[in-house]
Each structure stands twice: as C-alpha cells, then as structure tokens.
C-alpha cells in the first residue's frame, strides 16, 4: 500500500491511497469462493456452484462489495500507519479501479493539531479574596430562620401580601387553545413577584371561603410562553389563609436547626460554610483566568469538526433541560440555526482551551488512571444522588463515556497549571 499525505487548509488532511492490483485480485477471488459456497442458483447444489458461473452471475455485486470494503479498511490502515488522529469520519471519494491496475482512492478528514505549549509555568493570576463579614453571616442565619418558618391558619382578617392561600383553581380558555382546569388544588403566595399581576389583584383582600373570578389576556409575546396570545377565564376559591411565622433568631433556633448548643455555634458553622463557598468561588475564578491566559497566548488551529461537536453538545444540553421542564423543544419559539451560530465563538474558545490542556498533559506525562476514572464516576454519582451504574448508562446514552478519560486528563492538566500558577489575592 502506498500512502501520500497532503496537508490542506487548517487541520484538514487528504490521503491518496494506492492498493496493489494483486491484493485486490486476491480479495476478489476470496469473495468469489465465499459466494460459491453460500449462493443459491437453480440447477446447482448449494456449495457446488462453479466459480465461473459465480463470476458471471455475481461479478459486479462482488466487485462493488470488495472495493467498498477495501476502501474502508485501507483508509483506517493508512491513517494508523501515518500516525494521524482524525476528529471526524473520513470522506472517501475518487475511488478508481481497472483490472490489472491498482485500486486508488482519497480520504479527507480533520486531525487533532499537534501543539507545543511553552508559557504555562508560573501563570500570573489576580483573584478577588472573598472576605466573610458578620453581616453576611447574619443574612445567612436570617435565611435559615425564614426557611424554618411555619404556616399558621388565619381566621380574623383578609389576605395580605406574604400570606399563603390554600384553595382550588378552575380555568377556561376564552381565546386560544389550552387545557381547561376544574377545581385543581392551589397553593399560592399572595403578592409574590412571580405571580401574574391579575392573580395578586384577585387574591389580596379576600376572605377565607370567598370565590374570585377574572379574565387574563396574555400578550402575543415570547415571555407569555404557551399562553401567548390567549385569554383565560379563572375562578379561584379561597379555602384557607395561612401566614408565615418566622422563629426568633436565638439559641432555640440553633437547637431546632441541628445539633448546635447555641446561636454562636450555629453562626460559626455558617461562617465555615460561607468560607468554603468563597474558596470554591476563588478557585473557579482562578481556573477561568488561567484558561483565558493560555488561550490568549497560544495560537491553535481549531478543527471545525470539534467546534461543531461542542455546539451540538451545548444544544443537546438545552434540549434536555427543556424536556426536564416539561417543554416541547419542537414547539419552542427558538431559531435553532441562529442559536447555533451564536454559540460558535464560545464553542471555538472552549475547544481551543481543551486542545491546549491536552497538549500540556502530553508534555508533562499526565494521564488518567483507572483509579482516576473510578473516583470521578463515584464522586459524580454521589453529587447527582444516583448509582455509578446509572451514571455510566447516562454517559453512554449521551455518548460521553468514550471521552471521559480525555476529560479527566484535561481536568488534571488544569490542576497542574493552577498548582504552579502565581496567584495573587486582592481583598474585596
């Protein structure tokens, strides 16, 4: 086999492959022999058909099959022999064959670029130091107290802002199409900002046992979602009014929230949690700035196939999120072509960073061991509260399992650069 590698624009490569005619003829004869054993022709016993009959009857079929198989097989051999690393499937064309002459074809594809990264030791980074103040601790404790609040029944007054109503909701579409509802259970905070203003207007000032009816005309705008352009008649029945009672912030609250002796111990735990989050935020900022530093200083030919794959991954994540929220992606008012175009710059930067980190890993001998893979799977499964087996199935469904080892290598590579970085903290 003869192979000529032609470097095209960017990361594209074209292989011109030539397979000697004698090898092609050997494959022809092998396939004709196989056909003679399994073919079925009236007047001949199976397995006893003469080869010349097989050649006349199945000649074109066998030749096409052999040539197609050899082109696919030898394209992979040629890529391996030349130690190339394609990032997409080769396009096989210009296939030519005549009896007594070599079989020739061309394979075109993109390759992962070979990089040599130099400026990654002692990367200068300035990170904001998140100082934890008493005010931040007090705010967190107030939030804990708010979450520990209890709902108490109100019988002596109408609904006020901040109350919660318990009742039923019925609705009928006056204009547009949608699902009518009849006496569906309702639990709603009165006056909440995310309520439609018409709901707040109807609820505030009502007494338990009252019914309110009103119509809402939704705008013909994207923000109205599935109710866009619809008019809906609502009937609300207020069965109960409940008010939120927030506990006092004292030693009693601390004991109620957990195994704390007093409020001071609770505040100390809160401080520790805030400091942990601040440290994680500082590390995330440092990692982002290190990546920006590397990307800005390293020229990289980015294969378009990898960029397209990254865009696909991001779009698939959006679709999965929409499905999880009960939305139909096919009915969303999204211009997916425009969405794809807008993602290309960020996806290109992400791929550039990925290639740089992989190059650093190669230069430093950083690899992902089986233990690294198992630890990653265990930690990720714990974070999502699922089993390792379920996580593997999820990764396999999203075609991410094969690339997991590369991902771990990139993470270890960034850790390596970060550990050697010159990080300066600016207190804010």
Dig out the tokens for 145 from the structure.
């107290």
> Domain 150-245, CATH 3.40.50.300 — does that match?
no
Distance of alpha carbon 395 from alpha carbon 392, whole angstroms: 5
More confident residue, 401 or 269: 269
Distance of alpha carbon 14 from alpha carbon 5, whole angstroms: 6
270 — pLDDT class (breaks 50, 70, 90) = very high
Instruction: Indicate the SS3 state at residue 334.
Output: coil
> Options 3.30.70.260, 3.30.70.1050, 1.20.120.1460, 3.90.850.10; which CATH number does 2-110 get?
3.30.70.1050
Task: Output the pLDDT for position 280.
Answer: 92
Distance of alpha carbon 221 from alpha carbon 168, whole angstroms: 28
CATH architecture of 280-427: Orthogonal Bundle (1.10)
Q: Helices 404-419 and 263-297, interaxial angle, to 10°?
A: 100
Task: Output the pLDDT for position 398.
Answer: 64
What average pLDDT does range 27-40 have in this prediction? 75
Q: Report how far apart the first and last C-alpha atoms of the chain are (Å, whole number).
A: 66
Q: Helices 263-297 and 336-364, interaxial angle, to 10°?
A: 90
Task: Output the pLDDT for position 169.
Answer: 94
Question: Is 90 exceeded by the pLDDT of residue 59?
Answer: no
For residue 171, the surrounding DSSP H or E stretch is strand 164-175
Task: Output the pLDDT for position 235.
Answer: 95
pLDDT per position as a tens digit, 327-356 = 788 877 788 888 899 999 999 999 999 999
Annotate 197-264 with DSSP letters as a single string. HHHHHHHTT--TT-EEEEEEE--SSGGGGGGTT-EEEEEEEEEEEEEEEPPPSSHHHHHHHSS-SSHH
Question: Is 70 exceeded by the pLDDT of residue 93?
Answer: yes
Cα 68 to chain centroid, rounded: 36
Task: Output the pLDDT for position 394.
Answer: 78
Kindly list the domain boundaries of the chain, sorted by start residue. Answer: 2-110, 150-245, 280-427
Distance of alpha carbon 127 from alpha carbon 282, whole angstroms: 6
């Amino acid at each position: 086999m003869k192979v000529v590698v032609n470097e095209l624009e960017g990361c594209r490569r074209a292989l011109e492959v030539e397979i000697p005619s004698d090898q092609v003829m050997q494959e022809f004869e092998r396939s004709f022999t196989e056909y003679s054993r399994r073919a079925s022709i009236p007047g001949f016993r199976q397995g006893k058909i003469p080869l010349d009959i097989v050649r006349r009857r199945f000649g074109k079929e066998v030749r096409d099959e052999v040539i197609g198989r050899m082109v696919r097989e030898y394209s992979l051999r040629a890529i391996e022999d030349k130690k190339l690393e394609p990032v997409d499937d080769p396009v096989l064309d210009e296939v030519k064959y005549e009896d007594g002459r070599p079989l020739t074809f061309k394979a075109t594809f993109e390759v992962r670029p070979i990089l040599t990264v130099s400026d990654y030791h002692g990367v200068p980074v300035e990170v904001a130091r998140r100082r934890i103040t008493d005010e931040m601790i007090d705010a967190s404790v107030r939030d804990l107290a708010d979450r520990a609040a209890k709902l108490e029944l109100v019988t002596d007054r109408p609904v006020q802002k901040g109350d919660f109503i318990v009742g039923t909701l019925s609705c009928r579409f006056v204009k547009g199409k949608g699902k009518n509802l009849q006496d569906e259970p309702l639990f709603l905070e009165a006056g909440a900002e995310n309520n439609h203003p018409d709901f707040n207007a109807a609820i505030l000032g009502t007494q338990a046992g009252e019914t309110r009816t009103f119509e809402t005309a939704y705008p013909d705008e994207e923000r109205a979602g599935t109710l866009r352009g619809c008019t809906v008649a609502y009937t609300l029945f207020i069965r109960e009014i409940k008010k939120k009672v927030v506990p006092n912030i004292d030693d009693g609250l601390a004991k109620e929230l957990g195994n704390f002796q007093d409020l001071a111990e609770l505040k100390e735990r809160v401080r520790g949690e805030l400091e942990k989050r601040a440290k994680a935020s500082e590390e995330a900022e440092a990692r982002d700035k290190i990546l920006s530093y590397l990307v800005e200083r390293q020229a990289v030919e980015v294969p378009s196939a990898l960029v397209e794959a990254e865009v696909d991954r991001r779009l698939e994540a959006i679709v999965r999120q929409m499905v999880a929220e009960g939305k139909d992606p096919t009915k969303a008012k999204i211009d997916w072509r425009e969405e794809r175009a807008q993602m290309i710059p960020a996806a290109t930067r992400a791929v550039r960073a990925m290639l740089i980190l992989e190059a650093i890993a190669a230069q430093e001998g950083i690899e992902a061991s089986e233990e690294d893979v198992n630890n990653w799977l265990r930690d990720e499964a714990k974070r999502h509260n699922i089993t390792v087996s379920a996580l593997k199935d999820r990764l396999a469904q999203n075609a991410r399992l094969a690339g997991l080892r590369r991902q771990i290598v990139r993470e270890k590579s960034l850790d390596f650069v970060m550990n050697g970085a010159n990080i300066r903290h600016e207190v804010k």
